Structure 1
């Protein structure tokens, strides 16, 4: 642990400011009030709410907040001398970034749930916290209530993590689960998710993988001590997943999930490098992640000494996310009282981030083909020409309905993509109807 500011004056209570009073912020305020005595006992001093910054004073809220605590002047709130800790639950890049930087510059520690900002500009926030001698905590930024970031940053700091694979978006997991369980189409499952409040009216951030990509960047950065941004993460959403893809997975004893995957690979230079990707994939039903249903999240971690670890729970929602926020608040408040700080950024490894083309993956490919002699040999030759080995192949149907389903062994994504493009040009191939990556087995 590093020390805080040498000139800090001792305090006997911790002044707290909350930025945002929406789904998460309102629950943070509620827990600060309802659990005040327990929180004070855990911290060693009372947590005193100094203000709650909102966009509109008259907006309806899930909790009653005293009007004298509400303010539309968020910058003025974080600059107050009696604010020792700022909780940011506004989300997005602006105005969250200047508010967090101002809070740190003014001597407050910061707890945030802002995955988008951390994935885009985390190093700037880390550097500001280090310069200020203050904490920056963000457990709630990934997987809601599930404690995953602190285990990666602290509990596993004596181990070598080799892979992190997770379901980190509840909306997409709900949709894919309905497609698997009931045979629903994508649009039908999405409409149900929106009706139940699991998906926004504009679900783009979820179904196109942007939300999961930001979380994958944070997980990769912590797991592999390397700066990884959202732009480094290969991203594919679930909008192209069909009922046929889900049915094919079922026939293989698998299930389709949107996975965030960060792992150590070997670069062409021979040195270890980081790959980070988000895409739908088939995983065997025997894999622990396959049983994660509805809007739940789970993260599967593999390390050299500890082996395989599974973290599971509600990945979103006001109360679960507020639980993770308050956990960080307790830790940061203790440090504020003691004049210390916790672990900061760890980017010493400074590994290269592999482009997707160099990442090792496996493919499931469904190919509509002419039903005649030599077709299988020709398809196998196409795979061989790109140095891709076939693990399994089966034929389904006859005549006009003939289809080959091929599952490859591991190869680079570039090799596999080139193989698929080759197949599309072959005279015997009527169509490549499905291409999906396969994870969790080899």
Structure 2
């Protein structure tokens, strides 16, 4: 067995970083047996040295000079859990330039500029592993990257943000409004003090870009992902979904259609019989559909210090094994270079609620708007009468651009006082 330990530099010591440091230290003997050589923390980059940290590590390991740490010639692997674009990108590029392999949980950086990181890893002959960037502890990226490398993936569909899933779960179970459910999620620690990245869909969109890139062997960035958050989802939307036998979820949907791919994140109604409908609170679940393997489902805790650290440590073990064998894991696979479809070309369905005047001819006028845009109506339901009349319409599938144009035209109709809600409907024919 190799006697010199593999030196690991840790960038960040927050919720995830602390767990990584703790597990590396307390499970050192097991990790050594699994890797084939000892590993040791050679340095931990933090913003503040005087912060109280209850960790079983030597205080001398902490430094505020991350650039000096990654430039050291004796570092074998750099683990990055600080997040954000900079200085993370510069630090990781410097680490690879100095011969260190990289394990990162940085979904935002991978979704924005993963190509640069992959190119640097290739150039310097090092590994870039990032299982922890999507769905926490759930083994998802490695199956896409390795286990299904011989298969053809058609679709990836899932719940990849625990904060929004918790909020929508509470809205469904208690009838609470969005703000009330968000307050509860914040009080319980499921939502950050600034929850924008979660509730506006940025977090899920970054993950969708990573999933689409791996699944379809095509570079997909966060800018390619159609993104809508859940801030406009109302208690009335959730109640209307219940009436249809559905539940509202924030979905990440990545699909391949011939020589094109698409990636989108938005709230949608799915039937309560759909397996994703039963995914509650802060859990994540992802369906993968491929040609040979069929449907696969991955489920578990998608966030949190310990679950995410589990994914980081799994990557660390794999990267260290590669180092010992002078081997390298899989790099970027973007050979397909498929076109990324804009949202307007994607075929989907809508659930539309209209506040309308209660007088003869209203339904005919509304139906005519749908017909003019080539959108077929599946279900029409009227709720209330008089001044409180509401029309609820569910469409058949149509290009999203046609559905959006229909909604815009409805807003201009004199018989429509307000389009109170529009939401896509997914999963009628299974996952």
SS at match of 1:173: helix
Match of 2:321 among 311, 329, 334: 334
Match of 2:252 among 247, 253, 260: 260
Shift of 1:161: 0.8
Residue number in structure 2 paired with 1:17: 9
Taking the aligned partners of 1:161 and 1:149, their CA distance within structure 2 comes to 13
Q: 1:369-411: per-residue Cα shift (whole Å, max 9, x none)?
A: 2233332222222111111111222222222222221111111
SS at match of 1:419: helix
Q: Is the 8 A contact 1:213 1:260 kept in 2?
A: yes
SS at match of 1:37: helix
Q: Compared with structure 1, are the counterparts of its residues 62 and 319 closer, same or farther at alpha carbon in structure 2 (3 Å cutoff)?
A: farther
Indicate the larger mover: 154-163 or 333-342: 154-163
Match of 2:296 among 287, 309, 325: 309
Q: 5 Å matches for 1:287-298?
A: 287-298=274-285
Match of 1:30 among 22, 35, 39: 22
- Whether 2:335 is the aligned partner of 1:348: answer yes
After TM superposition, the runs of 4+ consecutive aligned structure 1 residues lying more than 4 A away are none
Residue number in structure 2 paired with 1:437: 424
Q: Please, what TM-score do these two structures have when normalized by structure 1?
A: 0.95
Taking the aligned partners of 2:349 and 2:142, their CA distance within structure 1 comes to 31
Match of 1:151 among 134, 143, 148: 143
Shift of 1:358: 1.1
Q: 5 Å matches for 1:15-414?
A: 15-265=7-257, 272-414=259-401
SS at match of 2:250: strand
Taking the aligned partners of 1:390 and 1:27, their CA distance within structure 2 comes to 52
Q: 1:279-319: per-residue Cα shift (whole Å, max 9, x none)?
A: 11111111111111111111111112111111111111100
Q: 1:164-194: per-residue Cα shift (whole Å, max 9, x none)?
A: 1111111111111110000111111111111
Taking the aligned partners of 1:53 and 1:230, their CA distance within structure 2 comes to 28
Q: Is the 8 A contact 2:3 2:38 kept in 1?
A: no
Taking the aligned partners of 2:424 and 2:151, their CA distance within structure 1 comes to 29
Q: Please, what TM-score do these two structures have when normalized by structure 2?
A: 0.97
Taking the aligned partners of 1:56 and 1:131, their CA distance within structure 2 comes to 34
Indicate the larger mover: 153-162 or 130-139: 153-162
How many residues end up aligned between the 2 structures? 428
| RMSD over aligned Cα atoms | 1.2
SS at match of 1:348: coil
Shift of 1:11: 7.5
Q: Compared with structure 1, are the counterparts of its residues 44 and 301 closer, same or farther at alpha carbon in structure 2 (3 Å cutoff)?
A: same
Q: 1:14-45: per-residue Cα shift (whole Å, max 9, x none)?
A: 11111111100000000001111111111111
Q: Is the 8 A contact 1:12 1:337 kept in 2?
A: no
Shift of 1:64: 3.9
Q: Is the 8 A contact 2:97 2:120 kept in 1?
A: yes
Q: Is the 8 A contact 2:25 2:57 kept in 1?
A: no
Shift of 1:62: 4.3
Q: Is the 8 A contact 1:11 1:337 kept in 2?
A: no
Shift of 1:12: 4.4
Taking the aligned partners of 1:428 and 1:76, their CA distance within structure 2 comes to 67
Taking the aligned partners of 1:342 and 1:392, their CA distance within structure 2 comes to 51
Taking the aligned partners of 1:427 and 1:306, their CA distance within structure 2 comes to 52
Shift of 1:434: 0.8
Query: Any stretches of 5+ residues in structure 2 without a counterpart?
Result: none
Query: Any stretches of 5+ residues in structure 1 without a counterpart?
Result: 1-9, 266-270
Q: 1:318-354: per-residue Cα shift (whole Å, max 9, x none)?
A: 0000000000001000000000101100001101111
Taking the aligned partners of 1:26 and 1:164, their CA distance within structure 2 comes to 32
Taking the aligned partners of 1:382 and 1:408, their CA distance within structure 2 comes to 12
SS at match of 1:164: strand
Residue number in structure 2 paired with 1:6: none
Q: 1:184-215: per-residue Cα shift (whole Å, max 9, x none)?
A: 11111111111111111111111111111111
